[in-house]
Structure 1
Amino acid sequence: MTIAIGNDHAGTEYKFKIIKHLKEKGYTLLNFGTDTTNSMDYPDAIHPTASAVESGKAALGIILCGSGNGAQMTANKHQGVRAALCWNNELVALTRQHNNANILTIPARFVSLQQALGFIDIFLTTEFEGGRHENRVAKISCAG
């Protein structure tokens, strides 16, 4: 499975460890984030990440910024993207089960690296439940 990853300067340290963690599990990564801690504008990394998920070049995405809010807002401008900002395991599981989220947003300044890695493992292994949630998810997009 191919995973797109994008980050601003606040997520660089975590990104390198996330990439290593995912490569060890056999995932292919598309890295759209900055590789430095120099200040940069998060939309410059998040739009290409969301586009990769939107187009199907990546099955899922992971995005990181300081609070996660700007990254999530940016990603959710893309049709077909359902980016979820999560800060605990239950939210990660529910956003996959109930919302069929396809991008996990991690607030790098508010969770530990171990938490972030745990979130990713849950995100990648939790399935969408469908059923009663199917109709709700279908109503999220504004596209006609």
Structure 2
Amino acid sequence: MSIALGCDHGGYGLKLEVIKYLEAQGIAYKDFGSNSLDSCDYPEYGRAAAEAVASGECETGIVICTTGIGISITANKVKGIRCALCSDTVSARLTKEHNDANMLALGAGIVGTNLALGIVDTFLHTEFSGEEKHCRRITKIAAIEDELLN
């Protein structure tokens, strides 16, 4: 498994904690920045991580900003991305089981480190259910994307 990481200055500290977690688990990652606490714009880092997932360069992605909102909106502009902003482990589990989300967004100013790492762990270790109703819904999402994002 390879994880695309992206954050802005507001998510930088939490990204470092996620990196420690990934390294301890032996999970490969590619860091698309930001690499400091200097003020920057989340769209460039969210886009880079999302494009890596959409292209298949990375299997999944984790993006982080202060609330997780802006960077998740950005990631979801990339065709093929289903990025879910999660603030609890139940949402992280269900978005994988039901939506086959391929990216996770976190709000560093919303969730603490321990909860965030629990969310990451849940997201990375939950599989898509493959249930017909969920497949049908994901197919409908992809059809909307094909129609509107071309």
Using the size of structure 2 for normalisation, the TM-score is: 0.94
Q: Which residue of 2 aligns with 1:143?
A: 146
Q: Which residue of 2 aligns with 1:75?
A: 75
Q: Which residue of 2 aligns with 1:111?
A: 111
Paired AA for residue 34 in structure 1 = S
Q: CA deviation at 1:17?
A: 1.4
Q: Which residue of 1 aligns with 2:29?
A: 29
Distance 1:32 1:18 in 2: 14
Paired AA for residue 94 in structure 1 = L
Q: Which residue of 2 aligns with 1:123?
A: 123
Tell me if the contact between 1:2 and 1:27 (Cα under 8 Å) persists in the aligned partners: yes
Paired AA for residue 75 in structure 2 = A
Q: CA deviation at 1:106?
A: 0.2
Paired AA for residue 121 in structure 1 = D
Q: CA deviation at 1:95?
A: 0.4
**Aligned 1:2-13 pairs, distance under 5 A:** 2-13=2-13
Q: CA deviation at 1:79?
A: 1.0
Q: Which residue of 2 aligns with 1:96?
A: 96
Distance 1:47 1:72 in 2: 10
Q: CA deviation at 1:20?
A: 1.3
Could you list the runs of 4 or more consecutive aligned residues of structure 1 that deviate by over 3 angstroms after TM superposition?
A: none
Percent same amino acid among aligned pairs? 42
Structure 1 residue runs without a partner (length 5+)? none
Paired AA for residue 7 in structure 1 = C
Q: CA deviation at 1:143?
A: 1.1
Q: CA deviation at 1:140?
A: 1.1
Partner of 2:57, secondary structure, is: coil
More helix by share: 2
Tell me if the contact between 1:33 and 1:46 (Cα under 8 Å) persists in the aligned partners: no
Distance 1:125 1:109 in 2: 24
Paired residues, what number? 144
**Aligned 1:11-22 pairs, distance under 5 A:** 11-22=11-22
Deviation string, structure 1 residues 55-82 (Cα, Å, up to 9, x no partner): 0000000000011110011000111100
Q: CA RMSD in A?
A: 0.8
Distance 2:72 2:37 in 1: 20
Paired AA for residue 135 in structure 1 = R
Using the size of structure 1 for normalisation, the TM-score is: 0.97
